[in-house]
């Protein structure tokens, strides 16, 4: 049982919990995630390790309440526990000095990209961040990302804060400046990552995307997180979650992520 020692609301339906998990905190690297199960009847869901403290023996998870399990998790209070927490899982992000890195976080994807951006900054990279959300009520980690960024841009779809529009509009503008960009990293909705790779591919800009397919075991055994990367099938839980964006078949991935929509709706309508 992993105990929740702190809980905060970051934005509408988005929460951060700090969980006591000393073994995971000791080993976790940026880009890795955990698979958790709240109770005996619960399903397994993956969440990125947004922060960790080896000293305190804790990890932080930031999640959006989108369905049954994330809503149940959001309903837990400080002092309550999560039955199973497995991790750290997935390959750590490759952290080295690239030069100028454009970091793009869409919605709760910002929680996925932030620890990687922080590590890249510490490795000596120039960080240009683009943070986007549907509206100001769904923005997270704005101050944290600003703090580690050499340049910072903010967009909301409805214009309620920052620039009205999409993160991809800012990216196009940055490319138009003709300043060297050595790497683009992004996490967010699949459609957003697909659009970003459609922009960067013709420019030959190396782009790393963090994928979020449906996962069950998180250890390469069940096959539910299978994706098409170039001419190969890969499992996101063990081969990823980060991949070269140019090679990802987003259409298959988007179709697969909707496979269980009817069942998800059904369980959500049942009592928590």
Ligand X SMILES: Cc1cc2nc3c(=O)[nH]c(=O)nc-3n(C[C@H](O)[C@H](O)[C@H](O)COP(=O)(O)OP(=O)(O)OC[C@H]3O[C@@H](n4cnc5c(N)ncnc54)[C@H](O)[C@@H]3O)c2cc1C
Q: Binding residues for ligand FES, per CB under 6 A?
A: 215-218, 220-225, 235, 237
CA separation for the pair 108, 138 (Å, rounded): 8
Question: Going by C-beta distance under 8 Å and a sequence separation of 6 or more, which residues neighbour residue 178?
Answer: none
Residue 60 sits in the site that holds ligand X (CB under 6 A):
no
CA atoms of 10 and 194, how far apart (whole Å): 27
User: Nearest approach, Cβ of 86 to ligand X (angstroms)?
Assistant: 12
Minimum CB distance to ligand FES smaller for 28 or for 225: 225
By the rule CB under 6 A, 85 interacts with ligand X: no
Residue 235 touches which of ligand FES, ligand X, none (Cβ within 5-8 Å per kind):
ligand FES
- Tell the smallest beta-carbon distance from residue 33 to ligand X (Å): 4
Residue 185 within binding range of ligand X, rule CB under 6 A: no
Out of ligand X, ligand FES, none, which partner does residue 16 contact, by CB within 5 to 8 A per kind? none
Q: Which residues contact 263 (CB under 8 A, 6 or more apart)?
A: none
Locate 105 and state its tokens: 């976080």
Per partner kind, with CB cut-offs from 5 to 8 A, the member of ligand X, ligand FES, none near residue 66 is ligand X
Choosing from 4, 45, 131, 195, the residue that interacts with ligand X (CB under 6 A) is: 45
Q: Residues 16, 18, 23, 26: what is their CA dihedral angle, to the nearest 10 degrees?
A: 80
Q: What is the C-alpha R_g of the chain?
A: 18
Q: How far is the CB of 35 from ligand X (least distance, A)?
A: 8
Alpha carbon 94 to chain centroid distance? Answer: 16
70's contact among ligand FES, ligand X, none, with CB below 5 to 8 A by partner kind, is: ligand X
Residue 64 as a binder of ligand X (CB under 6 A): the answer is yes
Out of 4, 10, 112, 154, the residue judged to bind ligand X by CB under 6 A: 112
CB of 163 to ligand X, least distance (A): 24
Q: What does DSSP say about strands 14-20 and 33-37: parallel, antiparallel, or unpaired?
A: unpaired
Q: Which of 110, 129, 106, 116 is nearest to 32 (CA)?
A: 116
Binding of ligand X by 186 (CB under 6 A): no
Between strands 126-133 and 100-106, the pairing is parallel
Q: Say if residues 213 and 256 touch (Cβ distance below 8 Å).
A: yes
The one of ligand FES, ligand X, none whose footprint includes residue 137, by CB under 5 to 8 A per kind, is none
Among residues 37 and 136, whose Cβ is nearest to ligand X? 37
Q: Residues 249, 255, 256, CA angle at the centre, nearest 5°?
A: 90
Contacts with ligand X by CB under 6 A lie at 33, 45-48, 62-64, 66-70, 108, 111-112, 212-215, 241, 257, 261, 264, 268
């Amino acid at each position: 049982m992993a105990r929740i020692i702190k809980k905060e609301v970051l934005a509408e339906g988005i929460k951060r919990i700090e969980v006591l998990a000393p073994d995971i905190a000791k080993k976790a690297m940026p880009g890795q995630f955990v698979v958790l199960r709240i109770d005996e009847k619960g399903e397994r869901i993956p969440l990125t390790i947004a922060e960790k403290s080896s000293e305190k023996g804790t990890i932080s998870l930031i999640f959006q309440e989108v369905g049954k399990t994330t809503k149940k998790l959001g309903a837990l209070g400080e002092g309550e526990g999560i039955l199973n927490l497995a991790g750290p899982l997935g390959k750590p992000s490759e952290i080295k000095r690239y030069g100028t890195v454009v970091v793009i976080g869409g919605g709760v994807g910002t929680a996925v990209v932030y620890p990687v951006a922080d590590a890249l900054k510490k490795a000596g990279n120039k960080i240009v961040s683009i943070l986007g959300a549907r509206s100001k009520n769904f923005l997270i980690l704005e101050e944290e990302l600003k703090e580690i960024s050499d340049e910072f841009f903010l967009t909301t779809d409805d214009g309620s804060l920052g620039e009205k529009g999409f993160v991809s509009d800012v990216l196009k503008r940055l490319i138009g400046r003709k300043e060297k960009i050595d790497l683009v990293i992004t996490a967010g909705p699949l459609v957003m990552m697909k659009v970003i790779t459609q922009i960067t591919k013709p420019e030959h800009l190396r782009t790393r995307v963090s994928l979020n397919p449906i996962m069950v075991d998180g250890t390469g055994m069940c096959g539910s997180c299978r994706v098409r990367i170039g001419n190969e099938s890969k499992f996101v839980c063990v081969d990823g979650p980060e991949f070269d964006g140019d090679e990802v078949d987003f259409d298959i991935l988007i179709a697969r992520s909707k496979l269980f929509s009817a069942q998800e709706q059904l369980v959500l309508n049942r009592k928590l």
